[in-house]
Amino acid sequence: MPNTLYQKLVASHTVSRVDEQHVVLYADFHIMNEYTSPQAFAGLDQRGVGVRRPKQQMGVVSHVIPTRAGPVAGRTITIEAAASQAANFTRNCLKHGIHLFDVNDPEQGIEHVVAPERGLVRPGMVILCGDSHTTTYGALGALGFGIGTSEVEHVLATQTLVYRVAKNMRIRIDGQLAAGTTAKDLVLYVISKISAQGARGMAVEYCGSAIDALSAEARMTVCNMTVEAGARAALIAPDDTTVDYVAKRIKGLAAAELAQAITAWRDLASDADAIFDIEHAFDATHVAPFVTWGTSPDQAISIADVIPASPAESTSAANASKALDYMGLEAGMSMEGLKIDHVFIGSCTNARIEDLRSVARLVEGHTVARSVRAMVVPGSGRVRDQAEREGLAAIFIEAGFEWRQPGCSMCLAMNDDVLKPGERCASTTNRNFEGRQGRGARTHLMSPVMAAAAALAGKIVDIRKEFEHV
C-alpha cells in the first residue's frame, strides 16, 4: 500500500502492535525539561527502575530560568519553587547519567532551539519530549510530539511509548509570500482558516512551493505552531534545505556515514498516491501580516482587516465575546494603531538567529517608543553568542531593547518575566491564552518584525506601510 511520510516513520519505529489503533513506538531521542520530569523520576525510584538508555536522553532547564542580563556563570533562580524544581532536575540527571544543559551552562536555552542547532535532530527520527511544541522537529523530517509525565516515565524506563496512531492531513501551500510577511504570518493564517481544532488528532504534512521556499528555521516556526491547530505532529519532507541544515551541525559521523545518511534522508517522502484523510490547499500570496485579537491562536486577522462581528464557525459567539472582553476590544475594531505596553521577541517559535537578524535589520537606526518596554530573548546560548558576534545585540541595545540571557522567558508565566494585569504585549510566542504571560495580561501574537515595529511605534502597525525595507 502507498504510505504517507508519517505512516512510514511510525512503521519504521514500531516495536510491536498493541491493537488496531496502538503500537509500541521506539524513541530515538528523548528530551526533558525541569517541570514535566520530576514525577517521572520519582516513579522510577519507587519502582527501583533505572533509565534504560541515558545517552538517548537530554535535559534542559528552560521554563523557570531567569533571563535577566548578567554572566551565565552567576545566574541563579530566585523563585523558591522554581529553584527547587531545577535543583531536583539536576540531581536526577546526574544520578542517571543524562546530559543536562543546566542553569549556568553557557549553551543552555530552550529545548526546541538547543536540540536542532546541535545536530541532535535528524530526518527519520522519532523524538519525544514532555512539551507540546516538540512538533518543531517535523521541520527537519523527524516525527516529534509531546508526551505526558506518565509517558516520560515509561520512555525513561523502556525507550518506548505506547502510542495511538494519528490520522493524516496534508496542507499544500503554493505561491510566494509577499514582502513584509513571514512564516509566522503564514502559520497564523492557516490556523485562522482551519481553526484551533481543525487538525485535532492529525499528523499534518506540509508541502507546496511556499513551503519549499522557506528556510529550515522558518519551517520550524510553522511546525512549532501547528500544534495550536490541535495537531499531534507536523512534518515537512526532507529536501536540500533540510540536508544542508542538518549536515552542517552533525558531529561524530565519518564522511561515508554522513553520505549514507543523506541518501536515506532523501528517500523520506510520502508516496505519490498516498491517501490523506483530510487535505487543504492555500495560496501564500493571500497572506498578509497577521495579528491575534483574542485568546486563542486561531482568533487572528490580517492587519488590514477588522475584528469580525461574527465569529468563525469553530468559535462560539460566547467564546468570542469572552475573548474580546478579556482583551478589552470590540468587534469591528482594527488592530492597527492599538497601543501596546510591552514587546517580547523570543520563545521556541521565534528566537533563532534568522529571527533576530530580521529584527535587527528593521530596528537599526530607530528607537523603541518611550511608552514601551521591549525585550529580546535569544533561544539559546549559541544564538546569543552568534548575535553578539554579528553585531545584532549592539543594534538591539542601541535601539532601546533589553538584551537578555536565553530561556523561555515571557512565553509563559513560570519565571521572573511576567506581565502585570492589563498590560498589552506584542509577542512572538505561540499562545495567547488568558493569563499565559501573567494574570490579566493581554497577548497579541505576531511575527518578529511586526513585534519590533510595534516596539518602535508604541502601537501595532502595518509593517508594509511603516517600513519599506522589510
Same domain, 297 and 252: no
Mean pLDDT calculated for residue range 221-250: 98
pLDDT band at 312 (very low <50, low <70, confident <90, very high): low
- Among the ranges given (20-29, 302-311, 330-339, 353-362), the one the predictor scored with the smallest mean pLDDT: 302-311
Same domain, 97 and 199: no
Same domain, 132 and 144: yes
pLDDT digits (tens, 9 = 90+) for 167-210: 999 999 999 999 999 999 999 999 999 999 999 999 999 999 99
Q: Is the pTM of this model over 0.85?
A: yes
Residue 246: closest CA among 108, 398, 139: 139
CB 355 within 8 A of CB 451: no
Distance (Å, rounded) from C-alpha 105 to C-alpha 13? Answer: 33
Mean pLDDT calculated for residue range 11-40: 96
At 117 the pLDDT is: 97
Q: Which of 262, 286, 310 is the last residue of a domain?
A: 286
pLDDT digits (tens, 9 = 90+) for 111-151: 999 999 999 999 999 999 999 999 999 999 999 999 999 99
CB 44 within 8 A of CB 51: yes
Distance (Å, rounded) from C-alpha 187 to C-alpha 175? Answer: 14
Mean pLDDT score across all residues of the chain: 96
Residue 254 structural domain: 167-286
Q: Domain count of the chain?
A: 3
With both helix axes pointing from N to C terminus, report the angle between 448-457 and 353-363 in degrees, rounded to the nearest 10: 30
- CATH classification of the domain holding 215: 3.40.1060.10
Distance (Å, rounded) from C-alpha 229 to C-alpha 312? Answer: 14
Q: Which of 129, 164, 199 is the last residue of a domain?
A: 164
Q: Which of 286, 304, 319 is the last residue of a domain?
A: 286
Element of type H or E holding 290: strand 290-292
Residues in CB range of 311: below 8 A, 6 or more apart: 317, 319, 320
Residue 83: what residue type? A
Per the structure block, which three cell numbers stand in for 224?
512549532
Same domain, 405 and 461: yes
Residues in CB range of 112: below 8 A, 6 or more apart: 129, 131, 133, 134, 136, 137, 220, 224, 348, 379
Same domain, 312 and 442: yes
Q: What burial class does residue 151 get, using C-beta atoms within 10 Å of its C-beta: 0-12 exposed, 13-18 middle, 19+ buried?
A: middle
Residue 203: closest CA among 129, 271, 142: 142
Query: Phi first, then psi: what are they for 405, rounded to 5°?
Result: -80, 160
Same domain, 191 and 329: no
pLDDT band at 468 (very low <50, low <70, confident <90, very high): low
- CATH classification of the domain holding 418: 3.30.499.10
CB 111 within 8 A of CB 129: yes
Same domain, 280 and 328: no
CB 111 within 8 A of CB 60: yes
Report the SS3 class of residue 3.
coil
pLDDT band at 315 (very low <50, low <70, confident <90, very high): low
Same domain, 358 and 392: yes
Same domain, 420 and 312: yes
Distance (Å, rounded) from C-alpha 267 to C-alpha 273? Answer: 15
- Ordered alpha helix ranges (H), 13-79: 38-47
Calculate the dihedral angle through the C-alpha atoms of 436, 441, 442, 447, rounding to the nearest 10 degrees. -60
- Ordered alpha helix ranges (H), 49-118: 80-96, 111-117
Q: Which residue has the cell 521572573?
A: 416
At 314 the pLDDT is: 57
Same domain, 207 and 243: yes
At 389 the pLDDT is: 98
Same domain, 302 and 270: no
Residue 68: closest CA among 421, 446, 416, 452: 416
Per the structure block, which three cell numbers stand in for 437?
504571560
Residue 383: closest CA among 432, 336, 348: 348
Same domain, 174 and 160: no
| Positions of E strands within 104-212 | 126-129, 143-146, 160-164, 167-174, 202-207
